[in-house]
Amino acid sequence: MKSGKALLALILCSSAFALAPIPTAQQAKDASNYVPNAFILELSNGDAVSKRTLVSRHEEIYAAMRTRGIAFDIGEEYNTPNIFIGAAIRLSSSNDVTKLSEIPGVKAIRPIVKVYAPEHYLSLRPVSSTVVKDPKASDIPDTYSTHVMTGVDKVHAQGNFGQGIKIGIIDTGIDYNHPLLCDHADDEGSSCFGPGNKVIGGYDFVGDAFNGEDTPSPDHNPLDECNGPRDVCIIAASPDNTMGISGVAYNASLASYRIFGCIGYTSDDIISAALIMAYNQGMNILTLSLGGANGWTTGTASVVASRIAAQGRVVTTGLDGAWYASDPGAGIGVIPVASVDNIVSPIQNMTVEGVNHDPIPYFMATPLHGVNGSMPIYATSTNFSQPDDAGTCMFTQKLANVAAKGAKVAVIYNSDTGAFAAISVGGYTAVLISAADGKFLVEQFAAGVNITLNFPQGGAAFAVANPDGGLISSFSTIGPTFDMYPGVALAAPGGNILSTLPIKLGSYALESGTSMSCPFAAGAAALVLKAIGTTPAAGEAVMRILQTTAAGVAGSHTDGAPLKSVAQQGAGLIQVDRAIAMQTIVSPGQIALNDTEHFKANHTISITNTGNKTVAYKIRHVPAGTVGTIDASTHDVDTTPALIPGAATVTFSASTITLHAQQTHHITATFSPPDGLNTTLPVYSGFIEVTAANETLKVTYLGVAATLRETPVLDTSSEFFGIPLPALITAQGRPQGGPTNYTFQGEDFPFFLFRMVFGTALLRIDLVDKDEQLTPSIPLPSRRGIAPTPFTWWWTESTAGTFSKIKTIGPIGEMDYVARSTNDPFGGYSSFGFQGTFANATRINDGQYRALLRALKVNGNRNNEEDFESWMSPQFGVVTPA
């Protein structure tokens, strides 16, 4: 038998920050988060048919556009009063954008935003199906660990499996033929899709081939065999299988709204259409785990999701990071879900030959697939403190490097003694072992011992306690949004979850991500709705019920460790049994204390005893950890924020109350934020606990002890590209030095390159005379920041007539609600190509000019010059080619 080499590689990446290459004009364009020349027009609410012309509102707008000479294609159309009336259009010429705003009846024009599929931190090579149906095991108790963590097992024991509740899943499609989703999958001629099945319906908005760029080919069948059910089984897997998987609400009915093709991305026009269809088809719960990036609550999908939530439907979403909540996770009333690690990890053993040693456990649910025979090992480095031992920092790159040297399997050992965490190995065959076992193997290799490893191909996984179990997952990022909504509402199991893949990909996988916790929360909501009914009022109450009954998550398992910030856990880990059994209603579920400028000290909390007995309640304040959200040295948004001392103080108008049956009482909570915190943007948070003899409920609060209006938004350092930002970049990709003339023919035009270290609601570039005197805003401290953003315009009714103090010749461009930049060296910037025209596409007269770039600070007033940061470009000439 031919045997390959098993190699060892360390997984740590060096955190040293490398300078990003200055993009070329084309790269700057490609990095845009926006679909070029594509917009969603929102029409003012009104009759579907115009009374005046008797044609549909849509036709009327299209006719007005044609009259103005605008050439366009029509994409999705939206026509659901109370939710959204409008259309997605693609213009033939970017010059026509400004003309759109002149059309009567157009209420807003938003660019179409690209949305990427969430990263499924795939820690396992998918294995072939190991499903064995056991006809005897009909009524086994539910011991699935994530269900035990959340009380789902207890609710199941009461016979509540979410039957009768409809859940719309907006994501990749579903492989509904999976045996865990269809018990008659093997029956000849029977379908697993449609009424009477678990998957009752849905729609494919895109088709397999769609990659985000090409034209979608929709149909009525959301079958997806390339990405799969994954998260769906967390909600809906039938029990009694050898993997021990069962869904949170496995008797709920599902509909799948497919918005991703097999590769690439999707966009928010399609997501909005899917949300609206799921709403119109009567879904009680809508769940979507997406990777968009905004941080504002104003993107189209956020707006649509919020309006659906306001109609009493439950919407659960994943999320994307501090001051960077994903869109539509940012929607108001939508439930963004953080991830908690599973309390167990599945383990397989590999055997060691050539030296006397116990089997070595590796982190995987099923034996490493198709790896037969004894394999000699080769260590890529014998130095334990060498994180980059197999090449560059990107993990899959290391695996590619070792594979290129002939390795069949990469054995990766943990960099520390912590828990096994899911890692992404792409398509490579790799397993993760503990630090101690890795050290042992490397030492044997270094000593020249002839050691081989074997991966027995049979045997079920055995579960070991996960030392980080029950804690917030390391990948789960944090709120709040720029408008100070908490960004995270709740937490659910999402780390190390055994779930399903399409049959073609191997049926099962161990995965981590908020794309796991989000469907879990949707399933939990289904159980609650099953218990309390499906009225709009019930739908609206679900978030509060789950929040007031959730269990606070500590920062670590150390005794006395402070609770994790609300920005990271929301109200805490969902406890469905408590949510359903509670006889007390506490409202609201959460209190947004906003920033210091918009802080309000007094908030009313109502407590209702719905039971039949008199109950005495105690009210107390339980602070959660305060975190600094900006890294002090780099001024980046900190994705793993450190705890800092300090907490709010809260006093109550009454700290004990007694309520008779059916009685309600209101108390006032008076908050004062912590002061003297020595950090930038400290987010403080905690809970108001309401405790009776046998139940505890809580109200979750969060605020920031700073004025967001004073937070810098533009990166003015040189640390990202090695040149001071913002900058005017020539088409050759060089910063413009002295005065330079441009003809705007072919490639002869410059672009503005800048980075946002915080979001801005308005970014505008104006043309000014070359001699215009302006003292730009105080240079910011040196820092590097973090998101790819636009190349296009937004228009809303509110942006006319700003900046009265400075004499400008005319606007060159404007962008609304720009997200903060990421620190991705290839996409962590914004750019704007200057075509020698004003924003209205009129050519600028020949002459010498400068450009003034201004960014509105969060909560700033658009009419107040002081609320903007500004930058003046070097001098440039607009010249007519000779």
* Strand ranges of the sheet holding 584-587, from the earlier edge strand across to the other edge: 584-587, 602-609, 664-672, 649-652
Q: Which of 825, 814, 815 is nearest to 788 (CA)?
A: 825
Stretch that binds ligand NAG, among 347-355, 425-433, 636-644, 813-821 (CB under 6 A): 347-355
What are the DSSP calls for 501-520, one per residue?
Answer: --GGGTSEEEE-SHHHHHHH
**Contact between 526 and ligand NAG (CB under 6 A)?**
no
**Contact between 353 and ligand NAG (CB under 6 A)?**
yes
Measure the CA–CA gap between 347 and 493, rounded to whole angstroms. Answer: 18
Nearer residue to ligand NAG within complex by CB, 404 or 693: 693
Work out how close the CB of 799 gets to ligand NAG at its nearest, in angstroms, rounded to a whole number. Answer: 13
Backbone angles phi, psi at 234, to 5 degrees: -60, -35
Of the candidates 462, 654, 666, 798, which one interacts with ligand NAG according to CB under 6 A? 462
Of the candidates 81, 418, 645, 810, which one interacts with ligand NAG according to CB under 6 A? 810
Instruction: Draw the binding track, 249-288, toward ligand NAG (x: CB under 6 A; -: no contact).
Output: -xx-------------------------------------
Work out how close the CB of 106 gets to ligand NAG at its nearest, in angstroms, rounded to a whole number. Answer: 18
Of the candidates 56, 95, 191, 349, which one interacts with ligand NAG according to CB under 6 A? 349
226: tokens are 């390339």
Place of tokens 């010249």: 879
Task: Answer for the pair 543, 333: CB distance below 8 angstroms, yes or no.
Answer: yes
Distances 111 to 146, 244, 753, 796, 802 between C-alpha atoms, Å? 40, 45, 20, 11, 21
Work out how close the CB of 692 gets to ligand NAG at its nearest, in angstroms, rounded to a whole number. Answer: 6
712: tokens are 């810098």
Of the candidates 34, 161, 203, 687, which one interacts with ligand NAG according to CB under 6 A? 161
Work out how close the CB of 644 gets to ligand NAG at its nearest, in angstroms, rounded to a whole number. Answer: 9
How many residues form the binding site for ligand NAG (CB under 6 A)? Answer: 46
Measure the CA–CA gap between 143 and 471, rounded to whole angstroms. Answer: 20
Of the candidates 29, 90, 99, 598, which one interacts with ligand NAG according to CB under 6 A? 598
Measure the CA–CA gap between 852 and 832, rounded to whole angstroms. Answer: 13
Of the candidates 632, 672, 722, 770, which one interacts with ligand NAG according to CB under 6 A? 632
| Backbone angle region of 315, left / alpha / beta, with phi > 0 → left and psi within -120 to 50 → alpha | beta
Q: Please list the residues that pair with 699 across neighbouring strands.
A: 688
Instruction: Draw the binding track, 356-385, toward ligand NAG (x: CB under 6 A; -: no contact).
Output: --xx-x------------x-----------
CA atoms within 13 A on the CB side of 398: 29
Nearer residue to ligand NAG within complex by CB, 31 or 667: 667
284: tokens are 């009680």
Nearer residue to ligand NAG within complex by CB, 354 or 733: 354
Work out how close the CB of 592 gets to ligand NAG at its nearest, in angstroms, rounded to a whole number. Answer: 3
Determine the 3-state secondary structure of 609 from DSSP.
strand
Of the candidates 558, 694, 775, 804, which one interacts with ligand NAG according to CB under 6 A? 694
Where would I find the H helices in 208-363?
Answer: 231-236, 268-280, 300-310
What are the DSSP calls for 137-188, one per residue?
Answer: -SS-----HHHHHHTHHHHHHTT-S-TT-EEEEEES-B-TTSTTT-TTTTST
Measure the CA–CA gap between 505 and 159, rounded to whole angstroms. Answer: 33
Rounded to the nearest angstrom, the gap between the alpha carbon of residue 67 and the centroid of all alpha carbons in its chain is: 41
Q: Convert 138-164 to b/e letters by CB count within 10 Å (16 or more is b).
A: eeeebebbbbebbbbbbbbeeebbbee
Of the candidates 400, 464, 677, 879, which one interacts with ligand NAG according to CB under 6 A? 879
Work out how close the CB of 310 gets to ligand NAG at its nearest, in angstroms, rounded to a whole number. Answer: 15
What are the DSSP calls for 174-198, one per residue?
Answer: B-TTSTTT-TTTTSTT--SBSTTSS
Task: Answer for the pair 138, 186: CB distance below 8 angstroms, yes or no.
Answer: no
**Contact between 662 and ligand NAG (CB under 6 A)?**
no
Nearer residue to ligand NAG within complex by CB, 399 or 529: 529
Q: Which of 232, 114, 214 is nearest to 169 (CA)?
A: 232
Nearer residue to ligand NAG within complex by CB, 31 or 442: 442
Work out how close the CB of 712 gets to ligand NAG at its nearest, in angstroms, rounded to a whole number. Answer: 18
Nearer residue to ligand NAG within complex by CB, 602 or 775: 602
CA-based R_g, the chain, Å: 28
Stretch that binds ligand NAG, among 36-44, 146-154, 386-394, 477-485 (CB under 6 A): 477-485
Work out how close the CB of 625 gets to ligand NAG at its nearest, in angstroms, rounded to a whole number. Answer: 17
Work out how close the CB of 838 gets to ligand NAG at its nearest, in angstroms, rounded to a whole number. Answer: 4
Of the candidates 215, 670, 745, 863, which one interacts with ligand NAG according to CB under 6 A? 670
Nearer residue to ligand NAG within complex by CB, 422 or 839: 839
Stretch that binds ligand NAG, among 396-404, 638-646, 780-788, 837-845 (CB under 6 A): 837-845
Work out how close the CB of 702 gets to ligand NAG at its nearest, in angstroms, rounded to a whole number. Answer: 9
Q: Which of 427, 466, 697, 756 is nearest to 575 (CA)?
A: 697
The residue type found at 633 is S
Nearer residue to ligand NAG within complex by CB, 79 or 583: 583
Stretch (H or E) spanning 530: helix 514-532
Of the candidates 4, 207, 264, 611, which one interacts with ligand NAG according to CB under 6 A? 611
**Contact between 388 and ligand NAG (CB under 6 A)?**
no
CA atoms within 13 A on the CB side of 335: 36
646: tokens are 């300090």
Q: What is the DSSP letter of 223?
A: B
Q: Please list the residues that pair with 39 across neighbouring strands.
A: 89, 111
Work out how close the CB of 398 gets to ligand NAG at its nearest, in angstroms, rounded to a whole number. Answer: 26
Work out how close the CB of 595 gets to ligand NAG at its nearest, in angstroms, rounded to a whole number. Answer: 7
**Contact between 452 and ligand NAG (CB under 6 A)?**
yes
Residue closest to ligand NAG, measured at CB: 810
Question: Which residues have CB under 8 Å from 773's CB, separation 6+?
Answer: none
Work out how close the CB of 400 gets to ligand NAG at its nearest, in angstroms, rounded to a whole number. Answer: 27
Of the candidates 84, 176, 485, 749, which one interacts with ligand NAG according to CB under 6 A? 485
Measure the CA–CA gap between 22 and 783, rounded to whole angstroms. Answer: 18
Work out how close the CB of 671 gets to ligand NAG at its nearest, in angstroms, rounded to a whole number. Answer: 10
Nearer residue to ligand NAG within complex by CB, 385 or 612: 612
Task: Answer for the pair 6, 453: CB distance below 8 angstroms, yes or no.
Answer: yes
381: tokens are 């480095």
Task: Answer for the pair 451, 352: CB distance below 8 angstroms, yes or no.
Answer: yes
Of the candidates 44, 450, 535, 662, which one interacts with ligand NAG according to CB under 6 A? 450
Stretch that binds ligand NAG, among 146-154, 354-362, 385-393, 618-626 (CB under 6 A): 354-362
**Residues 714-773, interacting with ligand NAG (CB under 6 A):** 739-741
Q: Please list the residues that pair with 853 across neighbouring strands.
A: 765, 871
Determine the 3-state secondary structure of 393 from DSSP.
coil
Work out how close the CB of 53 gets to ligand NAG at its nearest, in angstroms, rounded to a whole number. Answer: 27
Of the candidates 583, 663, 736, 799, which one interacts with ligand NAG according to CB under 6 A? 583
Nearer residue to ligand NAG within complex by CB, 180 or 206: 180
Work out how close the CB of 329 gets to ligand NAG at its nearest, in angstroms, rounded to a whole number. Answer: 15
Residues near ligand NAG, by CB under 6 A: 161, 163, 238, 250-251, 349, 353-354, 358-359, 361, 374, 450, 452, 462, 483-485, 583, 592, 594, 598, 601-602, 611-613, 615, 632, 653, 668, 670, 678, 692-694, 739-741, 810, 838, 840, 842, 859, 877, 879
